[in-house]
């Protein structure tokens, strides 16, 4: 039930997938909002919320990667060498890399600003970068760039999953219910 098999996603993988999906969309919406509002006392807490959710997303991504090391997920449905499956694997790999790099770039940039990086309102994360304008500017520029890249990849990921869903090949059903309709 919890573990993945060669043909189905286990409950833990599916729970992580959909939890992270919600979290990432919330983070993208929140981050985009923060980039376009005038900071003030009334919305200062949103910056802390963004950091907290980002740290949770990073943690879940690491947990998911470790879990998949012990319980490998099933390969894409269909021939492994099919173009769509190769694209799917490349997209998944890129999304994982971005889910690691994106929060780390935000963490680096925030630490480089000289301010404590505080999550959950009172936990101060270690400063993982020197206090430096160059590190801060580069970190935030990278954070913005990686965000756009992630948005593009998520559009591709969702479009691919939707197409497979319309074809009823079992891919979408497998991530929702664990197994394909033919299992």
Point out which residues bind another protein (CB under 8 A).
38-42, 44, 113-116, 131, 133
**DSSP assignments along 15-40, one per residue:** HHHHHHHHHHHHHHHHHHHHHHS---
Closest to 63 measured CA to CA, from 12, 125, 136? 12
- Residue with Cβ nearer another protein (131 or 141): 131
Q: By the 8 A CB rule, do 129 and 135 touch? A: yes
Least CB distance to another protein at residue 40 (A) = 3
- Residue with Cβ nearer another protein (51 or 64): 51
Least CB distance to another protein at residue 126 (A) = 16
Least CB distance to another protein at residue 115 (A) = 6
- Residue with Cβ nearer another protein (95 or 109): 109
Helix (H) / strand (E) containing 125 = strand 123-125
Q: Residue 98 half-sphere exposure, CB side, CA atoms within 13 Å?
A: 21
- Residue with Cβ nearer another protein (133 or 152): 133
Least CB distance to another protein at residue 29 (A) = 21
Structure tokens that stand for 24 in this block = 């990432």
């Amino acid at each position: 039930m919890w573990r993945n098999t060669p043909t189905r996603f286990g409950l833990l993988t599916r729970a992580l997938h959909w939890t992270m999906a919600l979290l990432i969309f919330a983070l993208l919406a929140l981050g985009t909002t923060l980039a376009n509002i005038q900071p003030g006392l009334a919305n200062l807490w949103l910056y802390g919320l963004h950091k907290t959710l980002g740290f949770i997303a990073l943690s879940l991504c690491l947990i998911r990667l470790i879990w998949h090391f012990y319980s490998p997920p099933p390969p894409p449905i269909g021939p492994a060498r099919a173009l769509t499956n190769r694209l799917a694997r490349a997209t998944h790999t890129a999304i994982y890399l971005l889910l690691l790099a994106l929060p780390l770039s935000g963490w680096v940039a925030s630490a480089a600003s000289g301010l404590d990086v505080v999550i959950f309102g009172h936990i101060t994360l270690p400063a993982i970068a020197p206090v430096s304008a160059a590190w801060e500017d580069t970190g935030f520029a990278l954070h913005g760039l990686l965000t756009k890249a992630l948005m593009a990849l998520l559009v591709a990921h969702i479009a691919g999953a939707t197409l497979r869903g319309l074809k009823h090949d079992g891919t979408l059903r497998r991530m929702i219910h664990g197994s394909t309709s033919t299992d």
